[in-house]
């Protein structure tokens, strides 16, 4: 094997490991690395992040998204790793100086999954049933959809939350459909909720492959697994969250999807109690353009939708976005 090893860093959770190994396999396929050589070509190291250690408070209380990326980004900047694999929805709106988005692989299903032990759908849950989630977005959306249900805090990785559900800490919970699929959890009983009903987190189902800005060899290798429709959607979604808030403190949902020669971006902000909601949409024509121009248009659509939503937000929503 004549290949300079590319060291991959990720969080230590089973899902993060599965995602990192999936990226490893896509890189190996693209670069012609035999299966028997993959471990040597792409050594994988895991890190425990601040967010992993702090399981009791909500993310909004302890500082938001960067808690799941900081230690891994430090390892990249210090040269302990060449590539980092993150869940896109965990990424702060801005990356640290010296690091760049090296690739956005093909997206998994972005929908939220409502999980119960018996597979009962959300509409059939009895009034007063306890639903476990610490996501500000999911709590606000559920309060709007089913104000008769009881919200209880629930954090932890996929396995931990499923264990809490089995232990009777709640009658239902939400997980990302993408995570369940990447972990091969076909036996988990759930209802995948349409984006029209519950708009997912911006970036949900997408992965971020991160590298150092000056590491041209690594950036060239990662370019092989970049999926343009997913990268385009991620560019629009990241511009939207950057323009709105960029943390876990405000209930924000959004999703971009390519349909033919158009990119459709939807966004939503809510008050924590779900009583007030603002939803907007932008459609961008992307046919007959260079890739750079298409990316610029996607980012512009996200920024424009964010500006519109800020302008249209009422007093409660504007205060949540820091405008008052």
pLDDT reading at 213 higher than 90: yes
The predicted structure's pLDDT at residue 53: 75
pLDDT reading at 101 higher than 60: yes
- Do 187 and 238 reside in the same domain of the chain? no
The predicted structure's pLDDT at residue 90: 87
What's the average model confidence in pLDDT over 107-123?
Answer: 97
| Inter-helix orientation angle 14-31/158-166, to 10° | 140
pLDDT reading at 2 higher than 60: no
The predicted structure's pLDDT at residue 251: 92
Instruction: Please check whether residue 245 lies inside any domain of the structure.
Output: yes
| Residue that is written with structure tokens 């996200």 in the block | 302
Dist CA 35 CA 10 (whole Å)? 21
By the 8 A CB rule, do 136 and 272 touch? yes
- Do 145 and 218 reside in the same domain of the chain? no
Record the pTM. Answer: 0.91
CATH number at residue 284: 3.30.160.40
- Do 73 and 214 reside in the same domain of the chain? yes
What's the average model confidence in pLDDT over 311-322?
Answer: 79
Share of the chain above pLDDT 70, in %: 94
Instruction: Please check whether residue 76 lies inside any domain of the structure.
Output: yes
What's the average model confidence in pLDDT over 30-41?
Answer: 95
Query: What is the pLDDT confidence band of residue 68, given thresholds at 50, 70 and 90?
Result: confident
- Do 8 and 99 reside in the same domain of the chain? yes
Phi, psi (degrees; rounded to nearest 5) at 123: -65, -20
The predicted structure's pLDDT at residue 303: 97
- Residue 226 CB coordination number (10 Å): 16
- Do 24 and 59 reside in the same domain of the chain? yes
- Do 86 and 13 reside in the same domain of the chain? yes
Give a three-class secondary structure readout of 305-322: HHHHHHHHCCHHHHHHCC
- Do 275 and 285 reside in the same domain of the chain? yes
Catalytic residues: 90
The predicted structure's pLDDT at residue 46: 96
Instruction: Please check whether residue 79 lies inside any domain of the structure.
Output: yes
- Do 221 and 88 reside in the same domain of the chain? yes
Instruction: Please check whether residue 47 lies inside any domain of the structure.
Output: yes
The predicted structure's pLDDT at residue 321: 73
Its domain, for residue 175, covers: 112-193
- Do 52 and 88 reside in the same domain of the chain? yes
Instruction: Please check whether residue 199 lies inside any domain of the structure.
Output: no
- Do 120 and 245 reside in the same domain of the chain? no
Domains identified in the chain, total number: 3
Give 138's contacts (C-beta < 8 A, 6+ positions apart).
112, 174, 198
Query: What is the pLDDT confidence band of residue 49, given thresholds at 50, 70 and 90?
Result: confident
Instruction: Please check whether residue 83 lies inside any domain of the structure.
Output: yes
Instruction: Please check whether residue 201 lies inside any domain of the structure.
Output: no
pLDDT reading at 308 higher than 70: yes
Q: Across the chain, what does the average pLDDT equal? A: 92
What's the average model confidence in pLDDT over 20-40?
Answer: 96
Instruction: Please check whether residue 200 lies inside any domain of the structure.
Output: no
By the 8 A CB rule, do 255 and 247 touch? no
The predicted structure's pLDDT at residue 204: 97
pLDDT reading at 58 higher than 60: no
When mean pLDDT is compared across 60-69, 141-150, 239-248, 261-270, the lowest value belongs to 60-69
Give 168's contacts (C-beta < 8 A, 6+ positions apart).
none
Element (H, E) at 21: helix 14-31
149-205 per-position pLDDT tens digit: 999 999 888 999 999 999 999 999 999 999 999 999 999 999 999 999 999 999 999
- Do 210 and 98 reside in the same domain of the chain? yes
The predicted structure's pLDDT at residue 4: 87
The predicted structure's pLDDT at residue 323: 62
CATH number at residue 20: 3.40.190.10
- Do 243 and 217 reside in the same domain of the chain? no
Dist CA 140 CA 316 (whole Å)? 14
Share of the chain above pLDDT 90, in %: 82
């Amino acid at each position: 094997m004549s290949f300079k090893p590319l060291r991959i860093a990720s969080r230590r959770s089973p899902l993060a490991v599965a995602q990192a190994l999936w990226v490893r396999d896509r890189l190996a396929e693209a670069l012609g690395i035999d299966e028997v050589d993959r471990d040597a070509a792409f050594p994988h190291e895991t890190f425990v992040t601040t967010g992993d250690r702090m399981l009791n408070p909500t993310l909004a209380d302890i500082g938001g998204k960067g808690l799941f990326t900081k230690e891994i980004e430090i390892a990249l900047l210090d040269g302990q790793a060449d590539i980092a694999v993150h869940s896109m929805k965990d990424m702060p709106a801005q990356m640290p100086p010296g690091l760049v988005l090296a690739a956005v692989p093909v997206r998994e299903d972005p929908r939220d999954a409502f999980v119960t032990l018996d597979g009962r759908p959300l509409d059939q849950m009895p009034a007063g049933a306890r639903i476990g989630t610490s996501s500000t977005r999911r709590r606000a959306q559920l309060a709007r959809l089913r104000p008769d249900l009881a919200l209880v805090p629930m954090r932890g990785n996929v396995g931990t939350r499923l264990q809490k559900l089995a232990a009777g800490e709640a009658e239902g919970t939400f997980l990302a459909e993408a995570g369940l699929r990447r972990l091969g959890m076909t036996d988990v009983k759930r209802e995948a909720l349409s984006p029209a009903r519950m708009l997912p987190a911006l970036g949900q189902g997408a992965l971020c492959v991160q590298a150092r800005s000056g590491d041209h060899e690594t950036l060239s290798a990662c370019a092989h697994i970049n999926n343009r429709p997913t990268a385009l959607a991620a560019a629009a979604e990241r511009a939207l969250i950057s323009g709105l808030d960029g943390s876990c403190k405000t209930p924000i949902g959004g999703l971009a999807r390519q349909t033919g020669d158009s990119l459709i971006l939807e966004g939503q902000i809510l008050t924590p109690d779900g009583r007030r909601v603002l939803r907007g949409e932008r459609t961008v024509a992307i046919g007959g353009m260079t890739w750079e121009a298409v990316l610029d248009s996607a980012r512009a659509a996200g920024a424009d939708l964010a500006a519109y939503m800020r302008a249209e937000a009422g007093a409660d929503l504007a205060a949540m976005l820091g405008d008052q």
